[in-house]
Chain A
Amino acid sequence: MSETVAITIDAAEHHVAPGISVASALLNASVASFRRSRGGDARAPLCGMGVCQECRVTIDGAAHQRACMVTVAEGMRIVTATSAEP
């Protein structure tokens, strides 16, 4: 039985604990900029409960997914502002 889940963060493979949120996985991986504001500023989770919209990332090709509201899954591909995603 696998103790970790394999996900891709900005093209790099990571092995993370099952059941955690994407936001937790990104913070554990030291991702500082989840997305960029319209003015170009770095954004990261603030509320952690789906309200503030600051932690949006692209998950499996779908833009603007709230990282704090999505649980990691095997093979999940996450793209953040760190890899120049607008």
Chain B
Amino acid sequence: MTSARRADAIVIGAGIVGAACAAALARDGFQVTVLDRAFPSAGTTSVGMGHIVAMDDSPEQLALSAYAQRLWHDLAPELDPRSELDHCGTLWVAEDDAQFAAVRAKRDVYAAAGIASEILDARALADAEPNLRPGLAGALYVTGDMVVYPPGATLRLLDIARANGARVRSGEEAVEILPNGVRCVHETYHAEVVINAAGPLAARLTPGLPIVPRKGHLAITDRYLGFVRHQLVELGYLTSAHVMTNESVAFNVQPRATGQVLIGSSRELVEWEASLNRDILAQMLRRAEAFMPALGELSVIRTWTGFRPATPDKLPLIGPWDAVPGLWIASGHEGLGITTSLSTARLLVDQIVGRAPAIDPTPYWPARVHSASAA
């Protein structure tokens, strides 16, 4: 549904966050232009896992991801086969009794946020995922979580934007963000609203944004239909993701619609060094094999790296950037940008047009950066 005609808006970056913002703005009546230095989904969006997950790293992160989970369910009927949406749910796997106790606490935290989950004991977990090793304590099954193919979903979101009047310019690299405008190499664009959704590159265009690239490795196998049935994540994953150590790996495995198994995950702070780190890749695969020994029998056909836009407090930057008139930020989503793209877009557009957002937007305001540096 398109509202009355509103102002012009420019979105920098045609990754999934930019595409979601473009779709939301265009549906709300804005005249949207999306600029990407390469092409849609050419950056972080194309190298991630595509796990739509309610994540309880902090109350603010849970609020944003739980809201996102609801928005993905709402969007599901509009997605097309390219998006490969799979309602497979997440199994948070507990290795021992201590972790299994944490599973109960996690269920209660999710329940308070309106996220449904079920506790699986050791036997139920073995039935659900026969290729996990014996002897695991159990799992928390988050039934509403999903898997999506991020480039496909991004193209669909851009289609929705275009159907509401947006235009998408590939090969148009933003050089400088101006008051109510963007200077590209050959052309300067003017608009009342400018959104910096440039992912890990956002800080190059808006100096002062505390976003650093956090490198990850992924490996994908040949097709083995039914080998994995849910997104599987070890309960210790949040520790790996949250602590800003130089290196960490965690068991995080995903079934793809093709029958392929996507194996993660790793985290490194090495600036923009993109080459495969064989040592950390081996650690990651060994970690996966420790949970699923039969993974060792499968053929990995491709490995790659990518960069997450990481922030010091593990929350994205969503909101106005007061130093530049008209500028709004939508970046810093670390490893959760596929999930929170939709809630980011809604929060942002609600604030731009002056509607009350569904959740408190203040924890994500980029202004907290200024307060932090002033303190």
A64 contacts B222, CB within 8 Å? yes
Least distance between B258 CB and chain A CB atoms (Å):
6
Q: Which of A38, A62, A86 contacts B297 (CB 8 A)?
A: A62
B222 contacts A63, CB within 8 Å? yes
Q: Which residues of B contact A63 (CB under 8 A)?
A: 222, 224
Q: Spell out B's residues near A (CB within 8 Å).
A: 222-225, 258-259, 297, 299
Q: Which residues of B contact A86 (CB under 8 A)?
A: 223, 225, 259
Apart from A63-B222, A64-B223, A86-B223, list 4 A-B contacts with CB within 8 A. Answer: A38-B223, A38-B258, A64-B222, A86-B259
Q: In the complex, A64 Cα to B261 Cα: how many Å? A: 14
Q: Which residues of A contact B299 (CB under 8 A)?
A: 64
Q: State the majority secondary structure of interface residues on A.
A: strand
Nearest A residue to B299 via CB reads: A64
- Could you list some 12 contacts between A and B, CB below 8 A? A38-B223, A38-B258, A62-B297, A63-B222, A63-B224, A64-B222, A64-B223, A64-B224, A64-B299, A86-B223, A86-B225, A86-B259
Q: In the complex, A86 Cα to B226 Cα: how many Å? A: 11
Least distance between B314 CB and chain A CB atoms (Å):
37
Nearest A residue to B222 via CB reads: A64
Q: In the complex, A10 Cα to B299 Cα: how many Å? A: 23
Q: In the complex, A63 Cα to B226 Cα: how many Å? A: 13
Q: Which residues of A contact B224 (CB under 8 A)?
A: 63-64
Contact with B along A40-71 (1 / 0, CB 8 A): 00000000000000000000001110000000
Q: In the complex, A62 Cα to B297 Cα: how many Å? A: 8
Nearest B residue to A64 via CB reads: B222
Q: In the complex, A86 Cα to B225 Cα: how many Å? A: 8
Least distance between B259 CB and chain A CB atoms (Å):
7
Q: In the complex, A33 Cα to B255 Cα: how many Å? A: 26
Q: Which residues of A contact B225 (CB under 8 A)?
A: 86
Leading 10 A-B pairs by shortest Cβ distance:
A64-B222, A86-B225, A64-B299, A63-B224, A38-B258, A62-B297, A86-B259, A38-B223, A63-B222, A64-B223
Which residues 5-42 of A sit at the B interface, judged by CB distance below 8 A? 38
Residue in B224, B259, B299 whose Cβ sees the most chain A Cβ within 10 Å:
B299
Nearest A residue to B227 via CB reads: A63
Q: Which residues of B contact A62 (CB under 8 A)?
A: 297
Residue in A38, A63, A64, A86 whose Cβ sees the most chain B Cβ within 10 Å:
A63
Q: In the complex, A63 Cα to B258 Cα: how many Å? A: 15
Q: Which residues of A contact B297 (CB under 8 A)?
A: 62
Q: Which residues of B contact A64 (CB under 8 A)?
A: 222-224, 299
Residue in B223, B224, B225, B258 whose Cβ sees the most chain A Cβ within 10 Å:
B223
Q: Which residues of A contact B258 (CB under 8 A)?
A: 38
Q: In the complex, A86 Cα to B297 Cα: how many Å? A: 18
Q: In the complex, A64 Cα to B224 Cα: how many Å? A: 9
Least distance between B81 CB and chain A CB atoms (Å):
12
Q: In the complex, A62 Cα to B224 Cα: how many Å? A: 10
Q: Which residues of A contact B259 (CB under 8 A)?
A: 86
Q: In the complex, A86 Cα to B260 Cα: how many Å? A: 13
Nearest A residue to B297 via CB reads: A62
Q: In the complex, A63 Cα to B260 Cα: how many Å? A: 12
Least distance between A66 CB and chain B CB atoms (Å):
10
Least distance between B324 CB and chain A CB atoms (Å):
47
Least distance between B149 CB and chain A CB atoms (Å):
13
Nearest B residue to A38 via CB reads: B258
Least distance between A42 CB and chain B CB atoms (Å):
16
Q: In the complex, A38 Cα to B224 Cα: how many Å? A: 12
Least distance between B353 CB and chain A CB atoms (Å):
43
Q: In the complex, A56 Cα to B299 Cα: how many Å? A: 12
Least distance between A33 CB and chain B CB atoms (Å):
16
